[in-house]
């Protein structure tokens, strides 16, 4: 067996062990729970039922900017926040 194969096998064994332990923790109610906050940008886009591309175009921003708003990485400017509030009504 090559060194690479042995390394991959060892890594897979460790992964399987970690995965089984995670399953056991979840069954015992000890699993980690991640809460995902829905941003105003995401909520407005979903309410309108449009794609990210279409919503970004409606707002006059790039898709990347919209993605950053939806991921909470950036905050919309004052004008964009106003447009989002209008979209949510």
Domain ranges of the chain: 1-34, 40-88
1.20.1630, 1.10.10, 1.10.260, 3.10.290: CATH of 40-88: 1.10.260
Q: Which of 1-5, 21-25, 35-39, 83-87 shows the lowest mean pLDDT across its residues?
A: 1-5
Nearest to 20 by CA among 31, 7, 8: 31
The confidence score (pLDDT) of residue 64 equals 98
Q: What integer is the mean pLDDT of 77-87? A: 93
Q: How far apart are CA 42 and CA 87, in angstroms?
A: 11
Nearest to 69 by CA among 35, 50, 59, 33: 59
The model's pLDDT over 9-64, given as tens digits with 9 standing for 90+, comes to 889 999 999 999 989 998 998 877 888 889 999 999 999 999 999 999 999 999 99
Cβ-proximal residues to 81 (8 Å cutoff; 6+ apart), any chain: 40, 75
The confidence score (pLDDT) of residue 1 equals 64
4 vs 15, more confident: 15
The confidence score (pLDDT) of residue 38 equals 93
Nearest to 67 by CA among 48, 33, 59, 79: 59
Q: How far apart are CA 7 and CA 73, in angstroms?
A: 37
């Amino acid at each position: 067996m090559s060194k690479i194969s042995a390394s991959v096998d060892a890594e897979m064994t460790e992964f399987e062990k970690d995965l089984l332990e995670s399953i056991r923790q979840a069954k015992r109610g000890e699993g980690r729970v991640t809460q995902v906050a829905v941003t105003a940008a995401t909520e407005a886009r979903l309410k309108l039922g449009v794609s990210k591309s279409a919503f970004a175009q409606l707002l006059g921003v790039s898709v990347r900017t919209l993605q950053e708003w939806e991921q909470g990485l950036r905050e919309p400017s004052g004008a964009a926040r106003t447009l989002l509030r209008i979209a949510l009504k």
